[in-house]
Structure 1
């Protein structure tokens, strides 16, 4: 997995050194010699990751990072500060303006590549989700009501067999407004996903368990794969820490753990996790909006046709018969003309509710459009389908419909037509045409009834 990397440093030798290291691992490298050039390069080349020197004349790295993170078009790009400074306050300042991490000069090759690998994996997931979201927007799906949860406190689980150290870490996190509990308090590591854990703080200092095996286990397990892992490592154990990043850990903090750095790193991981969560919610909502009728909550015509095609093929290949009920609200035009379209919408919503309530879980209840509804009944022969349609008709007519928010009641009835798949030559058009013809017969015979037409 590779990426486009923007290297920003005012010293050419430093730029060329990082370029050589990255290109040896098949990264595509873009160079910029100062902050202004970096902002122009980001706009022109859209890099996946930025390696940003802190100490530059004019606009320093902190200001460049702040501007990038303040711009919605570039806020998602991971920034790694590269500096000769190794003071905790300098690291925290960088993390506070939105940087993902620090690398200290001279840059350790293994730490650099491990960090690049971790950020590239994160970026790949985020990029795919953004593309899916963009596809939904191009298709006319509006998910602008999705709520960002990036700034909510995180829920953390501290894994360290040194109870005193684990409690100290948990207390730091609680003081920062997060929810944290230790391995000792939980009594085990089962059910992390059910507990709603966002970040797992995993110590690499224990002799009683292998932190890297635990890291690999959590990333292989589908239930815990989305949980971010923050490793606590000895500064002399950088190679194993880098290996942890390779295995899927999101970040590393070295001992002795500084409270402010810990909180800054947790905040960064929480924001990243919330960002992915927000993108997934938007993509899921976009997929839902593409197949759901927004007024009634039933499936739309697109989903209806897709399900009919699949069920019809299954039936033709020796499966059980498929039946459909096509229904239409009697005298619906007069409802709109007499009481208004808002009242008509209330009627459509209540009809949809009664259809869903009186259908089986396996049935597919759809609204193709207007006042028409269809119930697809898998594994259902014609006789049972007619009985089901009659049950639905009775449920609609059984009690008055409330309109104007419950201020008035009116009587609503349905007419329905039923048809069943008949042989391998049957098509969706044949099936729905017979149901439509049966529905027309029900209307002609006086409405509020169910008719079935033989193939």
Structure 2
């Protein structure tokens, strides 16, 4: 994972230390020595995360954070406060100013890197949602953005998964006056309850009597109904290694016992506000573009959306020096299915293929029905070899599992051919060029006998 990180500190030695640590992990690091310079940097260039000192001359870190979060152009940038201040009141003040996390100097390197990677993954999701909303505006639809998060703490639905009643009761004492609280007293029961409900946040105990808490977190992240639900781990101070692994698995935040009530509410407020902002983006995009840019049969985006959004993705990849790959797949001998079994059977196959396609791509990837039996998958931040692996995995899965048609009464075999290409920055390509190259690779795959993947250097 590569990203641009801004380190803000008025002491050169502190800036250099963080810059050295992050550069060693292949991050692109910018620096600023005061608050105004930090605000200018964020206004002038694309920043993926800010590491922000508090005690600085002029504008302090609290004010810088508040200004970044109040500005629509920078509000989505994660901010981690890094300071020598260790009073609980300072932590809460930072969180209330909009900070996404709080690290105390001297910074523990493992905590620094796990928090940075966790927040950058979240930033990638936010960027993709915002970009799709902008694309919808570009094709002539109504304004999509709502006032994300203004009512983010209006009685959230919260679930606590903890098999120790005394531990749950301590959290409940603080939470009950602020949220609609539910409790699951067993880990697997909690996973099922989370999947059946619609929770704004899920607290998971770091230790269960007879179950691995990381397994609970992993299951919550793998289920469609809970994939985007914020998870806060409730841990002890000595659980440092476990906390790091949990963040790598996709846990959003953690809080350490003994839990300070003010910090608990501040961290919960941050997670709920972010979730409702993301939910608002998803709902607005879905509601506004469904008819205009969605294929009615498969539910995937259609060619109209692809034509606009692909150019945006390519331009962004070019400007940031990042990789991007594109696949075109065609259902082999699809006309024969329509001729032999009728167009209803053909529609059944297209719908099922679209369903399998969704399973085999990431949430940040763009899957579209290009036309007829052709589909396109655009994969940001994906090198050529990984794109080929994805294409081959999809081809193998389609060939191995037969398709049901006619209300499931009949099974038929199906294969696909796939053309793959990737962006090469030195050649200054656009979306049309990528599509043409992928289409040439697809033609080669079909000419060579179908049911195969061909990759063509772009």
TM bin (shorter chain):
0.5 to 0.7
Q: CA deviation at 1:225?
A: 1.3
Q: Check conservation: 1:80, 1:100, Cα contact below 8 A.
A: yes
For residue 339 of structure 2, the aligned residue among 301, 313, 318 is: 318
The answer to whether residue 229 in structure 2 is matched with residue 227 in structure 1 is yes
2 CA distance for matches of 1:38 and 1:182? 43
In structure 1, the residue matched to 2:241 is 239
The answer to whether residue 170 in structure 2 is matched with residue 172 in structure 1 is no
Aligned residue pairs: how many? 312
Q: Check conservation: 1:3, 1:48, Cα contact below 8 A.
A: yes
1 CA distance for matches of 2:45 and 2:146? 29
Q: Check conservation: 1:141, 1:289, Cα contact below 8 A.
A: no
Q: 1:239 to 1:145 in 2, by over 3 A?
A: closer
Q: Check conservation: 2:206, 2:235, Cα contact below 8 A.
A: yes
In structure 1, the residue matched to 2:6 is 6
Aligned to 1:236, the other structure's residue is in SS state: coil
Q: CA deviation at 1:194?
A: 2.4
Q: Check conservation: 2:163, 2:187, Cα contact below 8 A.
A: no
The answer to whether residue 77 in structure 2 is matched with residue 77 in structure 1 is yes
In structure 2, the residue matched to 1:422 is none
Matches within 5 A, 1:240-319: 240-291=242-293, 314=335, 317-319=338-340
1 CA distance for matches of 2:144 and 2:280? 11
Q: 1:186 to 1:250 in 2, by over 3 A?
A: closer
In structure 2, the residue matched to 1:98 is 98
Aligned to 2:238, the other structure's residue is in SS state: helix
Q: Check conservation: 2:157, 2:179, Cα contact below 8 A.
A: yes
Deviations 1:145-177 (A, max 9, x none): 7564552332111112210220221231122x2
Q: CA deviation at 1:120?
A: 0.8
Q: 1:148 to 1:40 in 2, by over 3 A?
A: closer
Deviations 1:414-447 (A, max 9, x none): xxxxxxxxxxxxxxxxxxxxxxxxxxxxxxxxxx
Q: Check conservation: 1:84, 1:106, Cα contact below 8 A.
A: yes
In structure 1, the residue matched to 2:358 is none
Q: Check conservation: 1:111, 1:239, Cα contact below 8 A.
A: no
Aligned to 2:2, the other structure's residue is in SS state: coil
Give the root-mean-square deviation of aligned CA atoms. Answer: 2.9
Aligned to 1:191, the other structure's residue is in SS state: helix
Q: Check conservation: 2:163, 2:186, Cα contact below 8 A.
A: no
2 CA distance for matches of 1:171 and 1:186? 21
Q: Check conservation: 1:8, 1:32, Cα contact below 8 A.
A: yes
Structure 1 residue ranges without an equivalent (≥5): 293-299, 304-309, 324-377, 380-455
Q: Check conservation: 1:291, 1:302, Cα contact below 8 A.
A: yes
Deviations 1:287-335 (A, max 9, x none): 314158xxxxxxx9989xxxxxx9x964775244559xxxxxxxxxxxx
* Structure 1 length-normalised TM: 0.64
Q: CA deviation at 1:144?
A: 3.8
Q: CA deviation at 1:215?
A: 1.1
Q: Check conservation: 2:35, 2:60, Cα contact below 8 A.
A: yes
2 CA distance for matches of 1:231 and 1:54? 26
Deviations 1:116-166 (A, max 9, x none): 111011001110111111111111111447564552332111112210220
Q: Check conservation: 1:2, 1:27, Cα contact below 8 A.
A: yes
In structure 2, the residue matched to 1:390 is none
For residue 154 of structure 1, the aligned residue among 156, 171, 177 is: 156
Q: CA deviation at 1:181?
A: 1.5
Q: 1:139 to 1:232 in 2, by over 3 A?
A: same
In structure 1, the residue matched to 2:312 is none
Q: Check conservation: 2:237, 2:257, Cα contact below 8 A.
A: yes
Q: 1:220 to 1:301 in 2, by over 3 A?
A: closer
1 CA distance for matches of 2:265 and 2:138? 39
2 CA distance for matches of 1:144 and 1:261? 33
Q: Check conservation: 1:126, 1:279, Cα contact below 8 A.
A: no
* Structure 2 length-normalised TM: 0.63
In structure 2, the residue matched to 1:386 is none
Deviations 1:34-82 (A, max 9, x none): 0000000001112011000011111100000111111111111111000
In structure 1, the residue matched to 2:89 is 89
Aligned to 1:106, the other structure's residue is in SS state: coil
Matches within 5 A, 1:299-448: 314=335, 317-321=338-342
Structure 2 residue ranges without an equivalent (≥5): 295-301, 306-330, 345-404, 407-458
1 CA distance for matches of 2:36 and 2:146? 34
Which entry has the higher C-alpha Rg, 1 or 2? Answer: 1
